[in-house]
Structure 1
Amino acid sequence: MSDVAADPVSSRTFVALQVAPAPAQGAATDRAPRKDGTRCSSCSMRPMCMPQGLTPEELQRIEALICTSRTIRQGETIFRANNPFQSIYAVRAGSFKTVVMHRDGREQVTGFHLAGDSLGLDGVCSGHHSCDAVALEDSKVCIIPFNLLETMCREVKAVQQHVHRMMGSEIVRESSQMMLLGTMSAEQRVATFLLNLSERLRKRGYSPAEFHLRMTREEIGSYLGIKLETVSRMLSRFQRDGLLDAHGKDIRILDHDGLTRV
């Protein structure tokens, strides 16, 4: 099965943001920085977020720019569609969804982002964000002012290569999503989604067989282009077939190979 949501990779550099327009209702506001003692060198997401092969001096340069990560409460947004693009964001803890709003007010989920993923690259092209980024749970992000990241890219080759991989991952993620929506049955979409999530959790050191879904079935259906009822029906079918055990949002994969063959 194809990988429907390849992990975008993130890096972490942080300085105070320039003053931005007041956020829309529900958006998280920029809070005054406060030191919390967490550094890239001791962060559990460093293998996912940071470029590999940095010298101690290069790592120190990056850490010198870091202020504390910012807490985003469940339901708050980091940015909204049409907000000016200033920064990209590394998810340090928690999870997010990205959504676009249709003219009739319907919400379309375009991605789910876990710790170690990046957010905000949608704004690089036009200078404005094209979607909302909403916290699925209380989460933390590290904020990376893009102009400073560009400067560091010119000075540190490993960082430049890392940013290229981040952008490449976004291209792969979007093309995979198009293939999922255009060529797979509903059953295959749900199976592929679970397998992809399992693999992403494995890479972060969590159990690939037992996990708790942070998103609702309605949000999964929106992402996969199917109805909520269809998601529930597919999960029930997989359970009857002995492929997994599902209790609410708690998922236990019983037959990984069987799920792959769906």
Structure 2
Amino acid sequence: MECSAANINIREFRRDASRSQVACSRCSLGELCLPRGLDPDEVQRFEKIVNRSRPLRAGEHLFRAGDEFRSVASVRTGCFKSYVVDAEGQEQVLGFHLPGEIIGLDAIHSCRHTASVVALDTSAVCTLSFESVTQMARSMPELQAELFRIMSARISELETIAGDLSADERIAMFLLSLSDRFSRRGYSEHEFILAMSRRDIASFLRLATETVSRVLARLQKSGLLKVDRKQVRIRDLDALREVARQQAA
């Protein structure tokens, strides 16, 4: 895992902004970002290797495919999209990243990022040089276990999307995933804003853009959702879960 000895931030952050940053242990996302089971001394050690970025504008890249792997990043605010471009020049969305989620672990093996990551709205991240993380993980098994847990969850998510699911099932599972992720961040599980476009959702779910719009309209007509541009309100979570479980029936 020795990729780079350089401890360089993905983005240089403003000195005046960094002085006002909240420590990880007092951050509202602490339970999501901090490795589980750290004692107070280990939390302080962890906080010392965390750097906080300046805000990134919508459309600004955190890193691009092929860039040297120096840091992993935790989303502090906003939303990011990871994607690759195929041989025909078509963009394929690999995932969306919300506050508290980790970006960049795809580069561990090759020491270069395999996907590009771009902000979908005004966003910011906390970065950790991977060298510092790996050194600390040697003496903090909880940190190493957390990295493995995150990678395992990501693999599971990709396998689910790649499964033999109908368009309705894929969209239902996608919305339920967002509902759960927003809920764990203290937001409503019933109502949220989609920072990503219908085209991005379609690319991620391996569907046509028209199919995404059609299924959303059908779910709204059935009374499960209310969709107003980017705002989604889930009116019946149980019924949406039934749609997602149809494949298993």
For normalisation by structure 1, the TM-score amounts to 0.85
Deviation digits for residues 18-65 of structure 1 (CA, Å, limit 9, x no counterpart): 49xxxxxxxxx7325622332101111110000122221111112223
Q: How many residues align?
A: 236
Read off the aligned partner of 2:200 and give its amino acid letter: E
Change in Cα spacing, 1:140 to 1:18, as seen in structure 2 (3 Å) is closer
Q: Is the Cα–Cα contact under 8 Å of residues 49 and 128 in structure 2 kept in the other structure? A: no
Counting only pairs closer than 5 Å after superposition, residues 108-257 of structure 1 correspond to structure 2 as: 108-179=92-163, 183-257=164-238
- Tell me which residue corresponds to 2:3: none
Q: Say which of 82, 89, 98 aligns to 2:73.
A: 89
Give the whole-Å Cα distance in 1 for the aligned partners of 2:148 and 2:168: 34
Give the whole-Å Cα distance in 2 for the aligned partners of 1:96 and 1:30: 15
Secondary structure of 2:220's aligned partner: helix
Secondary structure of 1:245's aligned partner: strand
Q: Is the Cα–Cα contact under 8 Å of residues 111 and 223 in structure 1 kept in the other structure? A: yes
- Tell me which residue corresponds to 2:58: 74
Question: Structure 2: which 5+ runs fail to align?
Answer: 1-5, 244-249
Change in Cα spacing, 1:144 to 1:67, as seen in structure 2 (3 Å) is closer
Q: Is the Cα–Cα contact under 8 Å of residues 70 and 142 in structure 1 kept in the other structure? A: no
Give the whole-Å Cα distance in 1 for the aligned partners of 2:150 and 2:99: 15
Deviation digits for residues 211-244 of structure 1 (CA, Å, limit 9, x no counterpart): 1110011111111111111111111111111111
Q: Say which of 36, 43, 54 aligns to 2:19.
A: 36
Give the whole-Å Cα distance in 2 for the aligned partners of 1:167 and 1:238: 32
Question: Structure 1: which 5+ runs fail to align?
Answer: 1-15, 20-28
Give the whole-Å Cα distance in 2 for the aligned partners of 1:18 and 1:95: 22
Q: Is the Cα–Cα contact under 8 Å of residues 92 and 115 in structure 1 kept in the other structure? A: yes
Q: Is the Cα–Cα contact under 8 Å of residues 36 and 68 in structure 1 kept in the other structure? A: no
Change in Cα spacing, 1:154 to 1:208, as seen in structure 2 (3 Å) is same
Give the whole-Å Cα distance in 2 for the aligned partners of 1:130 and 1:225: 19
Q: Say which of 7, 31, 40 aligns to 1:17.
A: 7
Deviation digits for residues 48-83 of structure 1 (CA, Å, limit 9, x no counterpart): 000122221111112223333332211111111111
Q: Taking every aligned residue pair, what percent have the same amino acid on both sides? A: 42
Read off the aligned partner of 1:46 and give its amino acid letter: G
Q: After TM superposition, give the deviation of residue 259 of structure 1 in Å.
A: 1.3
Counting only pairs closer than 5 Å after superposition, residues 50-69 of structure 1 correspond to structure 2 as: 50-69=34-53
Change in Cα spacing, 1:99 to 1:67, as seen in structure 2 (3 Å) is closer
Q: After TM superposition, give the deviation of residue 195 of structure 1 in Å.
A: 1.1
Give the whole-Å Cα distance in 1 for the aligned partners of 2:51 and 2:67: 23
For normalisation by structure 2, the TM-score amounts to 0.89
Cα root mean square deviation, aligned: 1.8
